[in-house]
Structure 1
Amino acid sequence: MRFQNTVLFFLLLLILSVNAQQMEEYTHPWEGKIENSKIFNFTVAIKNLQSGDATFKISNNQSIIDYRFKTNANGQINIPFAENLLFEGTVAPNKKEINGFIKSGLLLYHLKLRKVKNDSFVGIWNILMVDEQKSQKFFLSIENGSGNDYEAYPVFGDNRFTGTWCSNFKKQNSHIAFNDVKTGLLFKGELLNNKIQLGIFLGSHLISEINLTKSTIDWKIGGFNTDNKKSILQLVEMESLISKDSLLNTHGVLISRNGKLIYEKYFDGYNENIPHDMRSASKSISSAIVGIAKDQLLFKNVDQSIFAFLPAKYQTHKDSLKAKIDIQSLLTMSSGLDAIDYGVNANPKSPAVEDNYQMAEDMTTAILSATMINRPNTNANYGSANPYLLGVAMDSLVSEPLEIFIDRNLFQKLDISNYIIQSDLNGRPYFGGGMYLTSRDMLKFGELYLSKGKWNSQRILSKKWIESSFENYRVLENTKDKNGYGYLWWHHTYKVNGKSIKSIEARGAGGQYIFVIPTLKTVVVITSGNYRNGKTQQPETIFEKYILPFVPN
């Protein structure tokens, strides 16, 4: 009996000691090492598609997921292969490839699975967006620890991955768990004496396990070299300034002239295979999707009210003024709603709905609930709420998932397959920005507009839509330069050797630019990483001072 009591006593001590672990003890920077540089580069395979009893497989250096699913005869594939993870796609008419998306977190990763043998289709899924981790270092910042409360933020040594957005922090005894809202990755850790054992999961499937110890020195992140190909055009001064960090965080510069690539350089470890976060530059792609829908007669005119496309539950927000919010007003940032990005204005006059609606449970309600500060189609103020409503409208018009419509009608025709679409909280493609395209594919998109809607002699967008998109409708009143604005395209004029050169531009935070210069038959793409240092518009300086003087007139 005494022995049993002793055992129970020590078991109680052990339980109390585990429960007594307080997160204050672990509020610290931690670091470890990923087991290999391609652990997050997955091979995705669909096998035995025609048998009616097919398999969906995900693997890296080991099998991660092996999921059986039933097929149907219409060529549509929908595979819920793990909790909150889904593959949807379509078999090409020639039966040689499958185009589709893995829905993981807020991201829709496009995959092209090519037929390799018999009835097998294979493709690659780079969940961290890079083709290989150049650094195997992994860091974890545990912050604001108090009792069982904490926050945890994973940081990869390869900063070409744009980072995690973690939430849902939980703790039970010695175990912690949280997830990355963006990629859908799940993190589970065990708190041990002076270390943390952290597992990274796809649903319930383990990808990698990392042993973390407390960091004793500052983290070293990024700083990678790029092997560049030779270009026809030489921009020596620009390259020198980039290498000296005088043109900070420039990731890529590409130039095409008369449809031919004449300059292509990458920096900080970037290359032609890495999709770059376009931020709001992909608003211009959203404009193209509206144009395709219009060309296909899915709606009649751009002067149709947005309420013609909204479900019944949103009709309660309609009044005599809001009823005048039409497709064109949304395309030109002139809905009149107080859903403005005051971040581009040094002296905001009122709180920005822009800062609040994006995390609302129902973004559409949050936007439509905003007050009207102008009549539609009169005053333009830049923000993301207007194009968001366009996405809701387009989703109501198409008979298939909107991302499939986008892929089939735009990206497949441009031979673009290595890309990612950010979704909203409902899983719908977010028209306010956030696509990831490679710099070469951004250049293709600019070329499509330069060539008035044709690509390789194929008509993708009508000439009329391109011309309407490039019109200068009105000034963006909440921008420093008071830029003119088209259908989600910026206008700007540059001075070079005493001449004025007009440019039509897709622009995104951090310095993501597609410059289309019709008079020079030139497209320029610049990607950057200046998200929080006030250098978002640095590409304009690069373009005006170091590129335009060397582009032949």
Structure 2
Amino acid sequence: MRFLNNLSLFLILFSFSVNAQDMAEYTDNWEGKIENSKTFCLKVAIENFGLEKAIFKIYNNKSIINQSFNAKNAQQITIPISENLFFEGNLSKNGKEINGFIKSGLLLYHVKLSKSKNNSFIGNWNVLMVDELKSQDFYLSVENGSNNDYQAYPFLADNRFTGTWCDNFQKENNIITFSDFKTGLQFKGKLESNKIELEILLGNHSITKVDLKKSKTDWKIGGFKTENSTSILPLIKMENLISKDSLPNTHSVLISRNGKLIYENYFDGYNANVPHDMRSSAKSISSAIVGIAKDKSLFKSVEQSIFDFLPAKYQPLKDSLKSKINIQSLLTMSSGLDAIDYGINANPKSPATEENFQRAKDWIQTILAVPMINSPNTKANYGSANPYLLGIAMDSLVSEPLELFMDTNLFQKLEISNYIIQADLNGNPYFGGGMYLTPKDMLKFGELYLNKGKWNSKRILSKSWIENSFTNYRALENTKDKNGYGYLWWHHTYQINGKNIASIEARGAGGQYIFIIPQLKTVVVITSGNYRNGKTQQPEMIFENYILPQLEN
């Protein structure tokens, strides 16, 4: 009897001690090591394709997911794995590839599975976007801990990964859980004395575990060596300034002329295999998808109202002025909606700014409910709500998932397979930006437009669409330089030796640029990481001061 009483007392005290753990005690910086540099470089395989009992696998050095599905007579494949995690893809006409996407979190990761043997297909999926971690150091910042409340934010020493967006912080007894809604990764930590055992999961499936201890020194993030590749042009001064951090956070510079790569250089550990966050420069890719849909006669005219493409629930938002918001007005940032993202005319309180509408449950409702500040197709003001509505329109036109349409009709034709599309809350491609392409693939996209819709002598976009895209319709009134604007393409003029050089550009926050210079038959790509230091337009200075002089020589 005494033994039972003692046992009961022990269990009560143990339960109290576990439940009483205060997250204030864990509010600190923590660090550990990822087991190997390729832990997050996963293999994806489909075995026994074409049979009723096919198998879908994801693995690294161990099995992560092993799931059977019916692939008999399958051309388009959809494999649900767990909540907010699935695979979809199409078998190629020659039967040698399955091109598809793993939807995880807010990202649509493109994967190409190539046929190996016995109706098996295999490919790669780099969850963290890098082909191999340059450092295996892993950090966790636990913040604002009080009782069971806290926030936790993971960081990698390899800062080429663009970071997590964590939320849903939960605690039960000595277990904490939270998730990254961008990549879809889940985190589960076991709280111990002076230690956190952190498990990283894909859905409910474990990828790896990291033992974390409190950090005793400052975290070491980034600082990786430059990788040189192709350097025909002598851009030594630019390279020296980048190495001295006088042109900070420059990640890549690539130049092609007459269709030939004449300069390719990567900095801060970046290389040709790492897809870079394009931010808003991906808007120009959205424009191309609209052009492909138009070329395929999926819609009649850019003069069609956006309401022609929207479900019935949104039709009450149409009035005599908003009914004039057409495809062309959205392509040229001229919808007239109070949806200005930044600049002198921006209204930070407008629900239709990108920062605001992305917090809403219904993005379409939020955007179209705002007042009009101009008549459509009269004045241009930059705002991501415009291309977002274009994506909704295009999604309504295609019979397959929009991302598969994009892959088949643009990316496969450009031989681009290593890329990622950011999705909206409904899992559809977000046309406002956020796509990840390698700089070399960004260069391909620029060459497609320089060559008036052809790549490798094959027609992808009509010449008329390119010409319309490059037309300078009107100036962006909320930008410092009052840049001219086409179909989601910027216009700018540079000077060299007293001569004006016209450039048409894709631009993204942080310094993501595709320069197309028709008179020089040149495309330049510069990627950067200047998100918070006011140097987002640094690539323009690099282009004008260091690249143009060499091109003119």
| TM exceeding 0.5 | yes
Q: CA deviation at 1:2?
A: 2.5
Paired residue for 1:148? 148
User: Which deviates further from its counterpart, 470-479 or 64-73?
Assistant: 64-73
Paired residue for 1:277? 277
Counterpart-to-counterpart distance in 2, 1:396 and 1:339: 22
Paired residue for 1:31? 31
Q: CA deviation at 1:14?
A: 0.7
Superposed CA deviations along residues 329-358 of structure 1, whole A, max 9, x for unmatched, are 00000101111112x44x755524312101
Q: CA deviation at 1:410?
A: 0.2
Paired residue for 2:512? 512
Paired residue for 1:214? 214
Paired residue for 1:53? 53
Q: Secondary structure at the match of 2:229?
A: coil
Counterpart-to-counterpart distance in 1, 2:145 and 2:307: 47
Q: CA deviation at 1:51?
A: 2.1
Q: Secondary structure at the match of 1:389?
A: helix
Q: CA deviation at 1:84?
A: 2.3
1:166-245 pair list within 5 angstroms: 166-245=166-245
Paired residue for 1:13? 13
Extract unaligned runs of 5+ from structure 2. none
Q: Secondary structure at the match of 2:231?
A: coil
- Is the CA contact 2:513–2:526 (under 8 Å) kept in the aligned structure 1? yes
Counterpart-to-counterpart distance in 2, 1:395 and 1:231: 42
TM-score (norm 1): 0.98
2:396 is equivalent to residue 409 of structure 1: no
Superposed CA deviations along residues 397-440 of structure 1, whole A, max 9, x for unmatched, are 00100000000000000000000000001100000000000000
Aligned length: 551
Q: CA deviation at 1:312?
A: 0.6
1:267-346 pair list within 5 angstroms: 267-342=267-342, 344-345=343-344
- Is the CA contact 2:510–2:529 (under 8 Å) kept in the aligned structure 1? yes
Counterpart-to-counterpart distance in 2, 1:365 and 1:378: 23
- Is the CA contact 2:510–2:535 (under 8 Å) kept in the aligned structure 1? yes
Superposed CA deviations along residues 175-195 of structure 1, whole A, max 9, x for unmatched, are 100000010000000111111
- Is the CA contact 1:484–1:492 (under 8 Å) kept in the aligned structure 2? yes
Q: CA deviation at 1:360?
A: 1.0
Counterpart-to-counterpart distance in 2, 1:227 and 1:482: 37
Superposed CA deviations along residues 419-468 of structure 1, whole A, max 9, x for unmatched, are 00000011000000000000000000000000000011111000000000
Superposed CA deviations along residues 282-338 of structure 1, whole A, max 9, x for unmatched, are 000000000000000000000100000000111111111100000000000010111
Q: CA deviation at 1:369?
A: 1.0
- Is the CA contact 1:513–1:527 (under 8 Å) kept in the aligned structure 2? yes
Equivalent AA in structure 2 for residue 233 of structure 1 = L
Q: Secondary structure at the match of 2:143?
A: strand
Q: 1:351 aligns with which of 344, 349, 352?
A: 349
Equivalent AA in structure 2 for residue 106 of structure 1 = L
- Is the CA contact 2:340–2:347 (under 8 Å) kept in the aligned structure 1? no
User: Which deviates further from its counterpart, 459-468 or 82-91?
Assistant: 82-91
- Is the CA contact 1:49–1:120 (under 8 Å) kept in the aligned structure 2? yes
- Is the CA contact 1:26–1:145 (under 8 Å) kept in the aligned structure 2? yes
Q: CA deviation at 1:117?
A: 1.5
Counterpart-to-counterpart distance in 1, 2:447 and 2:84: 37
Paired residue for 2:535? 535
Counterpart-to-counterpart distance in 2, 1:349 and 1:51: 56
- Is the CA contact 1:511–1:536 (under 8 Å) kept in the aligned structure 2? yes
Superposed CA deviations along residues 205-231 of structure 1, whole A, max 9, x for unmatched, are 111101111111110001111331242
Counterpart-to-counterpart distance in 1, 2:217 and 2:359: 36
Counterpart-to-counterpart distance in 2, 1:441 and 1:519: 22
- Is the CA contact 1:45–1:113 (under 8 Å) kept in the aligned structure 2? yes
Q: CA deviation at 1:6?
A: 1.7
- C-alpha distance 174-350 of structure 1, shift in aligned 2 (>3 A): closer
- Is the CA contact 1:394–1:402 (under 8 Å) kept in the aligned structure 2? yes
Superposed CA deviations along residues 85-115 of structure 1, whole A, max 9, x for unmatched, are 1110000010011100000000000011001
Counterpart-to-counterpart distance in 2, 1:166 and 1:313: 32
Equivalent AA in structure 2 for residue 188 of structure 1 = K
- Is the CA contact 1:41–1:125 (under 8 Å) kept in the aligned structure 2? yes
Q: CA deviation at 1:50?
A: 2.0
Paired residue for 2:109? 109
Q: CA deviation at 1:247?
A: 0.2
- Is the CA contact 2:278–2:512 (under 8 Å) kept in the aligned structure 1? yes
Equivalent AA in structure 1 for residue 531 of structure 2 = Y
- Is the CA contact 1:37–1:134 (under 8 Å) kept in the aligned structure 2? yes
Equivalent AA in structure 2 for residue 549 of structure 1 = P
Paired residue for 2:479? 479
Q: Secondary structure at the match of 2:293?
A: helix
Paired residue for 1:366? 366
Counterpart-to-counterpart distance in 2, 1:315 and 1:144: 45
Q: CA deviation at 1:497?
A: 1.1
* Identical columns (%): 72
Counterpart-to-counterpart distance in 2, 1:217 and 1:546: 39
- Is the CA contact 1:56–1:81 (under 8 Å) kept in the aligned structure 2? no
- C-alpha distance 305-230 of structure 1, shift in aligned 2 (>3 A): closer
Counterpart-to-counterpart distance in 2, 1:399 and 1:416: 23
Q: CA deviation at 1:552?
A: 3.9
Q: Secondary structure at the match of 1:51?
A: coil
Counterpart-to-counterpart distance in 1, 2:483 and 2:52: 56
Counterpart-to-counterpart distance in 1, 2:14 and 2:137: 34
Superposed CA deviations along residues 28-50 of structure 1, whole A, max 9, x for unmatched, are 11111101000000011111002
Paired residue for 2:495? 495
Q: Secondary structure at the match of 2:221?
A: coil
Equivalent AA in structure 2 for residue 397 of structure 1 = L
Q: CA deviation at 1:73?
A: 1.8
Paired residue for 1:123? 123
Q: CA deviation at 1:83?
A: 3.3
Paired residue for 2:459? 459
Paired residue for 2:427? 427
Counterpart-to-counterpart distance in 1, 2:238 and 2:509: 21
Counterpart-to-counterpart distance in 2, 1:194 and 1:391: 49
Paired residue for 1:83? 83
Counterpart-to-counterpart distance in 2, 1:297 and 1:50: 33
User: Which deviates further from its counterpart, 443-452 or 113-122?
Assistant: 113-122
- Is the CA contact 1:83–1:204 (under 8 Å) kept in the aligned structure 2? no
- C-alpha distance 359-349 of structure 1, shift in aligned 2 (>3 A): closer
1:59-78 pair list within 5 angstroms: 59-78=59-78
Paired residue for 1:138? 138
> Over aligned residues, Cα RMSD in angstroms?
1.0
Counterpart-to-counterpart distance in 2, 1:217 and 1:321: 60
Counterpart-to-counterpart distance in 1, 2:75 and 2:14: 57
TM-score (norm 2): 0.98
Counterpart-to-counterpart distance in 2, 1:422 and 1:284: 15
Counterpart-to-counterpart distance in 1, 2:214 and 2:348: 44
Q: CA deviation at 1:63?
A: 1.0
